[in-house]
Structures are given as C-alpha cells and as structure tokens.
Chain A
Amino acid sequence: MEDLVKTYGGRRAVDGVSFAVARGETFALLGPNGAGKTTTMEILEGYRAADAGTVRVLDLDPQRDGAQLRPRLGVMLQEGGLYRAITPREALRLFASYYAAPADPDALLALVGLADATRVRYRRLSGGQKQRLALALALVGRPELLFLDEPTAGMDPQARVATWELIRQLKASGVTVLLTTHYLEEAERLADRVAIIDHGRLVALGSPTALTRGDATRVQFRAVPGLDLGALRKLPSATDVAEPQPGVYALETCAAADLLVELTTWLRERGVLPTEVRVGEASLEDVFLRLTGRELR
C-alpha cells in the first residue's frame, strides 16, 4: 500500500492528507472526533471516492478495483452493522462463506473470547462483545490489510488489553494494520507510526518515539492563565516558551535542572503557585496538545 494523497468533501473533511503505509506496519490515525479519521478510512476502504488526489491500496484503486481488493481486506467499522437476531457463530459462518479460504469460525470466536456467547443474539451482546465480534468478522477472510476504526471503543479495560495483544500478534505475523483511535495509549502501544489528524489535515507523522523525542527536554506546568510569556522566555535556560492552552505552559530547554530552579524562583517572585510540574519526555498527549491546541478528550 503506497502513495496516498487526497482531498475530500465540500466541507473538507479530509484536506490534502498524504501518507504511505508499508506492508506489515501498524499505522494509527490519531485525532479527536470529527478530525477526518473515519472519512480517510472510508476512502481507503472504497466506501467514498476522493474528490482529488490519488489513492492506492495494495497497489489497487479502491473505487475501480473493489471486487479484487475486498477479499484481501478486513474491515471493522465504528458501528457494528450486523443483523439484530443473528448469533456470533452464524455471523462468522456467513462471512466465512464470502471467502475462498476463510479462517475457522469457531477458532476465531475462541480467539476473541466469544466462545461462551456463540448462541447469543447480536442485539443482546454487550458493547464490548459486539466490538470483539466485529473484529473476528474482520479477520475471518484472513486479510493482508486490516482496517480498524476505533477498535476498542466501548470495551472494558480487560478486553481492551486482550485486544491490543491480539492486534500485536497480528502485526507480528505480518498483517498490515491501519487503525483510528482517540486513545493515545492505544496509539503509543500498538503503532509503528502515528499520523495526527486535526480538522482534516495531517499535522504530524512519525513513530511515537520520534514524535515525542523533539520534546525530550521540556518542562511543562499548569498555573493561572496569562503569565508573561516574554518574561518567561528571558529565563536564562529557556529556549522556547508556549502556552498551548490557557494555564498550560511548555518550556523547551537544554538544561532542565537549571530551568527548574530559575522557573520556581521566577514564579515565587510573582506569587504564582504552579501545579503539575513535569519534566522530561513528553507523551503523545503533549505532542497532540502542542500541535493542535486542544486536548483529545
């Protein structure tokens, strides 16, 4: 899968996003709700045509070559999309019948932890069980490329960890995974590379470590909003200062220890009490906040 550029929509749901995902890679689209993640996925899955740009999936055009492409893809949509009265086993057997060489339905049910619920009707399954069934249905065709839209939304923590483990196993066995999420932890744990999307634009792209490395020497604190950034920037050890959100301050530095001393002195002189002073490696959440000026949730 390679070379992907596209613009979409009268309201520009996806605005000139480009990226390429290598075979065997796990790639996460990270962003808040409404950022354009799902639209991007649906263009790749062949549901929507891009208004501009080119899309290639497994060297095929999702619009023109859908019939060739679909047997090689596994798709998990945000909303389950299943018959209300069907049971998990019936659903897996039905979906298996669409593929020439499917995986074994019962083994898949065991793999996603639904062995006890094979005869329960879909509408009676819990939200997490529905998600796990949707994942099993995405896998039954033994896809080369897996699209997972918010794969662990609605799962309890235990099921979420187990699903992450399963996705890691799939990756280890060579399956290419493209997932959307608004859980930072999910992106950090699973993805080889993360694309941060906001307002339909790609604002950052790289491995979770590469995205956070640039902020390795960084001091962040919370205090009253509206502190004098110009004065903060004049602190001897500060190289850059920003207030990405009112009351959240991020200082770049080459000497974190010195900066901390200077900062606490400076704040005490002004009678400001900082909360949540953090030093060192930034998380993806910090990166996201800095790039988009808003928090994910």
Chain B
Amino acid sequence: MSAPVRTDDRVAALGLAPSAMSDLERGRAAPLWRAVLAQTWVELLLSLRRGESVLVTLVIPAVLLVFFMSVGAIPVPIARPIDFLLPGTLALAVMATGLANLGIATAYERGDGVLKRLGATPLPRAGLVAGKLLAVVALEVIQVLALVLIAALAYGWRPQGEPALAALALLLGTAAFAGMGLTMAGTLRPEATLAGANGLFLVLLLLGGLFLPLEALPGWMEAVGHLLPAAALADTLRAALAPPGDVPIGSFVHLLVWAIVAPLAAALTFRWE
C-alpha cells in the first residue's frame, strides 16, 4: 500500500484554491446531459462487470430460448415455435434488466449509502434516475440484438409485422418492470429486495405466458397470470411481430396501465437513505 505523498504545491497546481477563482465555471454544475451520459456509462459498465447481472440479463434468457426451442414442448398449435418463444424471451429479458438487475443493484446502492453520497453532488435525483434508465435501455439493446441474432441464425426467424410497435411495447414493459424493481429497492432492505425481486421474477417467468401459453395453466394460475404485466407484454410483442402487426387493444392497455402505475408507485414510496 502506498502512503500519501507530500502535497507541496500540488494543491495549488490542481486549482483547489478559491483564490484561483478567475475561472467562472468553478462552483457550477456540469451541463445535465454530460452528467447523465457519464452516469449511464458507469451504470452500464458496472452491470456488465457483475457476474450475476450478466447471468440474469444475458445468459438465462438465451439459454431458455435455446432450451425451449430444443425440447419442442409448446402445447398449443403454433405454426413456428420461434414466433411464440422469441417474443416471450424478449419479455423475459426486459424483466431481467428492469426488475431483477436494476432493482437489486439499486437496493444495494441504497443500503451502501451510494444514493446518499450522490445526493451531496450536483447530480440531481432526476439525472441519476435518467442515467439508470438509459443504462437499462442500453443493456436491453444488447439483449435484443443477441436474442434476435440467435433466433435469426439458429431458427430462421425474420422480422414481420410492426417492429416499431414491438419496440414501443418493450419500452412500456421497461417502465413497468423498472418501476416494480425501484419500488422494492426504495422501500425494502437490500437482502429483502434480492429475495423479492428474484421471487417475483420466477413467478412472472412461470405465470407470464412467456414460454408456456397461459391457457396451458390451471384456471386460477391463468387468472393470476392475466393480471400480471408479463403476459400483457408477451401478448403485445407476439401480435406486433406477426403479420399484420395488429396489437390486441386489451393487452396493450393493460401494459400501459402497469407502465404508469409501477413507476408512480416507485416515485411516491422511494426512500433515498
């Protein structure tokens, strides 16, 4: 371990002295976009550096897609299984990033006092949230590219319908799941968020109509599944990615409601310390 060095004139050289106040920029915040971009980059970098984040956001969705394509266990007649499974996997990917990864990471940052420390910097809270959400979207772009590439190369999937509508659905899903993740992160202890987010992730995976159609589940499970946002997202994605790209209005509105209610709950309940 190195000992701190003698400072000599380096305090002055660094411009730390208020006498060096000729520069008018001192004591001012950076332009918000610059702070948000730096925040986004660090949030994304740290996500990709955490093994458990890479596992839940990239490895698990890809493995499940390949697994369910290989076993061919889809119990409903679908012309091409990939047209059912890819939208389900995309919905899972958004859940993994917004609910599990963002929620758990933010909970630990809150527990470690990172959010408190950032509160003493010129970065506004809105800037921190913007950075986190942009990092989520950036990670989702990586996920979508990876999954679409697997689907296209291994299973001959081609985009049909309205991909723009699918992208909109993914953004609404992001709002819904990030809202759920942040609601937990802002109210529960880190360990409780870890357990809660993983548990909810599993429930949504099984009861979300992602890999198994909801109709294949017992009646009460199907009813629960219809209430959750995962099924609404998966249905909307499937319809958007199949010709003619007509989105079922019920599923879309259902998704939209979750995309409004969950972030609102997070905003109203979040405790920063």
Contact = CB atoms under 8 A, between A and B. Distances in A.
Contacts of A84: 108, 112
Given A132-B4, A159-B3, A90 B42 contact: yes
Nearest to B50: A85
B11 A170 contact: yes
A110 B27 CA distance: 23
Given A47-B120, A99-B29, A174-B18, A112 B112 contact: no
A59 B74 CA distance: 68
B139 to A, nearest CB: 15
A158 B3 CA distance: 7
Interface in A102-149: 103-104, 107-108, 110-117, 126, 128-129, 132, 137, 139, 141-144
Interface in A6-47: 24, 45-47
Contacts of A98: 29-30, 35, 38, 121-123
A111 B7 contact: yes
Contact of A141 (B117, B122, B273): B122
Contact of A77 (B23, B38, B116): B116
Nearest to A168: B7
Interface string A153-174: 0000011001101100110111
A199 interface: no
Given A71-B29, A103-B14, A165 B6 contact: yes
Chief secondary structure at chain B's binding surface: loop
Contacts of B35: 97-98
B49 interface: yes
Interface in A79-97: 79-86, 90, 93-95, 97
Contact of A162 (B3, B12, B25, B28): B3
Interface string A172-213: 111100000000000000000000000000000000000000
Contacts of A73: 120
B112 A107 contact: no
A170 B38 contact: no
Given A72-B27, A165-B6, A173-B17, A67 B49 contact: no
B1 interface: yes
Nearest to B121: A98
B114 A83 contact: yes
21 contacts: A67-B124, A71-B29, A72-B27, A75-B117, A77-B117, A80-B113, A81-B117, A82-B112, A83-B112, A95-B121, A97-B34, A98-B123, A111-B14, A141-B121, A141-B122, A159-B4, A162-B4, A162-B6, A165-B6, A166-B7, A169-B11
Given A98-B29, A159-B4, A166-B11, 13 more contacts: A24-B18, A70-B122, A75-B120, A77-B116, A85-B46, A110-B5, A126-B1, A139-B14, A139-B16, A142-B15, A158-B3, A169-B11, A174-B18
Nearest 3 interchain pairs by C-beta: A113-B4, A81-B117, A173-B17
